Amino acid sequence: MSTTHPVATPLTEPIAPAGRPTLPLPLRHLLNLSIYWLGINVIWSGLGNLIYQERLRAEWGEALAPTYLALLITAPLFIAILIQPTVATVSDYTTSRWGRRKPYIFIGTLLDMVFLWALAESNAFVGILAFVLLLQLSSNFAQGPFQGYVPDLVPARQVGLASGLMGVMIIGGQMIGLGIAALGLAILGDQRLQPGTAEAAEIVRQAFFLPTLALGVIELVTMLLLVLTIDEGRVAPSRGGRSWRQIALGAWGTDILRQRSYVWMLVSRLFFLMAPALLTGLGPFYLAQTLGFHLHSDRIMPTVVIGVVFGGVTGLSAIPAARFSDRIGRKRIIYGAIALGMVGMAGVALAPSFALTVLALIPVGISAGSFLAVDWALITDIIPKATAGRYMGISNAATAIAGPLGLGIGSLIVSSLVLFGLPPELRELPTPPGELSTWYEAAPRVAMAVTLIFFAISAWALRHVDERRRED
């Protein structure tokens, strides 16, 4: 008896029972569609922009913390790459009483809560890494299907507005997540801890325990608002006799490479988003090492100011940029965002004071907000609509990869330079005293300057994108 093995069948001809909607959606429906973005970003902003850094600095010291941070954020890369597009593609063909997307969003969010609690309880690096991997798994299980809602439900003329609202929710989530995480700094106050000791690691873990759980509560609330209010509308296309395994493997069919504009847009998105990810992820090291805010209590106000200024400017720029792109074209706005990002990041790298750093963050914020809104609208314009989950899942995998890659590269630069600036006898210690390095202050500046290369590559890739809208 022969056995037939499923292969990665390209999903090129889905049967779509209904086309893209044409009737405009009320604003409250657009807000409900976007709200889960806030919950997702609350979690990853709180963890990736403050909690990871403070916990690793306490456990491993100034010199080695960036290296462990790079490992913590890059190790889960394969999960985002594999899980999000695969589950998104499966959701394209799912039929349930809840609809195509909701079961995955609901289950993934509940698992996020469990793994966040386990992460907050863990102290050893191996345990932290294990639960970060599991959190990535559950989060991407929910995120992949969620990506399909805008192409599923939003008419073409409202894509700009929907993408702008998405940008506002993303930035709002990042600000809220950072604010919740900063409560851990307030709990630590003026305590002078010895970095690189078990005692310091446990004190910092306890300080960030409740803030970590609070991140999950926010995501849970946004998930409930989404699944209880959204009518998914479009029914699933036929599987055409294919098994679920074939459908899942089909997410990786090479037919997607024929969508040349889409592929180039992924490259542009990847390198653009690596820049703000490096900026926000290395923010705690920049404040402590470059600007001299050494105590936990010293970093509370700068962290809040940066969050309010950067987040506020980013959020305010998202909707105007998206609406303006409807008139003059998506690519022009993105090129402008790249130029502003380069100017701002050069300013951050060179700023001699906190005040000038904040000033330099204004063009970076405008850049990030404009890109987040308009880039999403452009991708929504150029992808096939019937299997939107597949394409949006893969595009968001590029987003998920961008953060770890950008921050990973920046973290390794900081650690390498700090270690290089230490005498050999200090470099060999289990927890080298990074504050004694000749590169201690300058290392974060060098990492910030590397973002100019990221922006240049993003602009080059964007040249190859055809922004004409498709309706199939």
pLDDT values of the chain reduced to their tens digit, one per residue, 472 residues: 334 333 333 444 343 444 556 677 888 888 888 899 999 999 998 998 788 988 998 888 877 888 888 888 888 878 877 888 888 888 888 877 888 889 999 999 999 999 999 999 998 899 999 999 999 999 989 988 888 787 778 887 787 778 778 878 888 888 899 889 989 888 887 777 777 788 888 999 999 999 999 999 999 999 999 999 888 766 666 667 777 777 777 666 667 777 788 889 889 999 999 998 899 888 888 888 888 886 666 777 888 888 888 888 888 888 888 888 888 888 899 999 999 999 999 999 999 999 999 999 999 999 998 998 888 778 877 777 666 666 776 777 777 788 888 988 998 999 899 888 888 888 777 777 778 889 989 999 999 999 999 999 999 999 988 777 665 5
Cα–Cα distance measured from residue 273 to residue 284, given in angstroms and rounded to the nearest whole number: 19
Residue 251 placed within a domain: no
Domain region containing 59: 27-234+258-462
Cα–Cα distance measured from residue 454 to residue 100, given in angstroms and rounded to the nearest whole number: 36
pLDDT value at residue 385: 63
For residue 9, the tally of other CB atoms under 10 A from its CB is 15
Question: What is the DSSP code string of 311-339?
Answer: HHHHHHHHHHHHHHHHHH-HHHHHHHHHH
pLDDT value at residue 13: 39
Residue 240 placed within a domain: no
Do 145 and 101 meet the contact criterion of CB atoms below 8 Å apart? yes
How buried is 467 (Cβ within 10 angstroms: 0-12 exposed, 13-18 middle, 19+ buried)?
Answer: middle
Cα–Cα distance measured from residue 91 to residue 377, given in angstroms and rounded to the nearest whole number: 21
Single-letter amino acid, residue 217: V
Residue 455 placed within a domain: yes
Residue indicated by tokens 């922009």 = 49
Cα–Cα distance measured from residue 430 to residue 432, given in angstroms and rounded to the nearest whole number: 6
As a whole number of Å, the end-to-end CA separation of the chain is: 42
Residue 39 placed within a domain: yes
Cα–Cα distance measured from residue 337 to residue 399, given in angstroms and rounded to the nearest whole number: 17
pLDDT value at residue 347: 95
Residue 407 placed within a domain: yes
Do 374 and 322 meet the contact criterion of CB atoms below 8 Å apart? yes
Residue 243 placed within a domain: no
Residue indicated by tokens 């604010």 = 179
Nearest to 116 by CA among 245, 240, 210: 210
Residue 76 placed within a domain: yes
Residue indicated by tokens 């299980």 = 141
The answer to whether the pTM exceeds 0.85 is no
Total domains present in the chain: 1
Residue 249 placed within a domain: no
Cα–Cα distance measured from residue 106 to residue 37, given in angstroms and rounded to the nearest whole number: 14
pLDDT value at residue 180: 93
Nearest to 123 by CA among 194, 202, 210, 207: 202
Q: Give the domain CATH number at 222.
A: 1.20.1250.20
pLDDT value at residue 381: 78
